[in-house]
Amino acid sequence: MNNKVSIIIPCYNVAPFVDRCLESILDQTCGTKDLEIILVDDASTDDTLSHLEKFESAHPEQTILIKLERNSKQGAARNIGIKYSTGRYITFVDADDIIYPRMIESLVKSMEEYDCDIVECGFDSFTDKRNDAPDSAGGSRFYDLSDPDNRREIIFKFFRTAVWGRLYRADFIKNNDIVFPENSFYEDNYFSGLCMILAQKYCVVDEILYSYYLNEKGTMHSAYDPEKTKQEIPVMDMYLKELEKRGIYDDVMKNNGEELEYFAVWKSYLDPLRMMLNSGSTSEEIFAEANYYAKYVRSVFPDAAKNKYLMSEDRFISFARDLLLMV
């Protein structure tokens, strides 16, 4: 492998986890010669920075350590990482996760074989004990996204809006000015939403190469938090307005309108509703909160309840559709 890969890792209060993450990067089958490991300490208040400084000291040729004075959440940390990156390719790793040994080599191989904008791999999860690396390599599937049917399939893959587990061509990100919203939660919805619309060539590697840490005390696994979760709406609003600003909204709606509409409904209504239902909230609380998200959806997509993907008889989808019709 002779193309540098920039691995961007935002770090905030991850002292118990970051060493194993970095160890998994050092274990890559491609070696570290062509890796640029960009560590962005987002004003951690624990011992994270000392772990990062120790790693930088041990691997100065591969490491760029950026120390932020003020916490700005992952969006700002990733944007800074992109700005500093010099690799031909970029991937994002969360500091409490690990990557399997073949990840970088496998994704770069498919990226170069198909000349893609983005390559995606499979993932699994772990709690406190790391999983063994999968034994077998998988095949790959290429998608020419000039075909609306292929675009449709990729939009649904991006319902998993987390940016990890994907390798991006750096000039695709930089030339299209794809950035993360800053000082906000759910910044991945915006970034991944733009990627799924702007990418022209996409590849899926059918192999588990990324492992996501299920930290039950972590942010995304906490109980429903209205103040945090309601940020899904301004992020979605920013995303839809960005499509209009770029002059591509009408074309997307013409070719993949129901898919884009369902993506917006899922991220700004169904996701929060599912969290509410799992939070132990009372029926009265759920109806009151759900009304807030449903009103936004109906203001942007008045006929969203008629979306063909909401016609499912799945119990949750049916319940969500009925609530949406009540607004």
CA 129, CA 136: separation in Å to the nearest integer? 21
The CA-based angle 316-322-326, given to 5 degrees, is 145
Which residue would you say has higher pLDDT here, 229 or 52?
52
Q: What's the pLDDT at 2? A: 52
Write the pLDDT tens digit of every residue in 69-127. 898 889 999 999 999 999 999 999 999 999 999 999 999 999 999 999 999 999 999 98
CA 93, CA 196: separation in Å to the nearest integer? 19
Q: What's the pLDDT at 134? A: 74
Tell me the range of 133-137, 149-153, 274-278 where mean pLDDT is highest. 149-153
Could you tell me the residue ranges of all domains in the chain?
5-220, 223-326
Beta-carbon count within 10 A of 88 CB: 17
> Domain spanning 5-220: which CATH class is it, in words?
alpha beta
Tell me how far apart the 2 most distant CA atoms of the chain are, in Å. 60
Tokens representing residue 185 in the block: 């939660």
Write the pLDDT tens digit of every residue in 238-280. 999 999 999 999 999 999 999 999 999 999 999 999 999 888 8
Dihedral of the alpha carbons of 224, 226, 231, 232, in degrees to the nearest 10: 50
DSSP label of 131: P
Quick check: 89 and 111 in contact, CB under 8 A?
Answer: yes
Quick check: 138 and 207 in contact, CB under 8 A?
Answer: yes
Quick check: 233 and 268 in contact, CB under 8 A?
Answer: yes
CA 301, CA 83: separation in Å to the nearest integer? 35
Q: What's the pLDDT at 220? A: 44
Write the pLDDT tens digit of every residue in 181-233. 999 999 999 999 999 999 999 999 999 999 999 876 644 445 678 888 999 99
Per-residue pLDDT band at 285 (split at 50, 70, 90):
confident
The alpha carbons of the chain give a radius of gyration, in whole angstroms, of: 20
Percent over 90 (pLDDT), the chain: 82
> pTM for the whole thing?
0.94
Q: What's the pLDDT at 219? A: 42
Mean pLDDT of 48-64: 97
138 pLDDT above the threshold of 50: yes
CA 17, CA 23: separation in Å to the nearest integer? 10
Q: What's the pLDDT at 71? A: 87
Q: What's the pLDDT at 133? A: 75
Element (H, E) at 323: helix 315-326
Q: Residue 32, SS3?
A: coil
Write the pLDDT tens digit of every residue in 222-232. 567 888 899 99
Percent over 70 (pLDDT), the chain: 96
Element (H, E) at 157: helix 148-157
Q: Report the first-to-last Cα separation within the chain, whole angstroms.
A: 55
Per-residue pLDDT band at 60 (split at 50, 70, 90):
very high
177 pLDDT above the threshold of 90: yes
CA 146, CA 282: separation in Å to the nearest integer? 46
Average pLDDT, the chain: 93
Tokens representing residue 39 in the block: 């560590």
Distance set, CA 24 to CA 20, 27, 133, 169, 256 (Å): 6, 5, 11, 22, 38
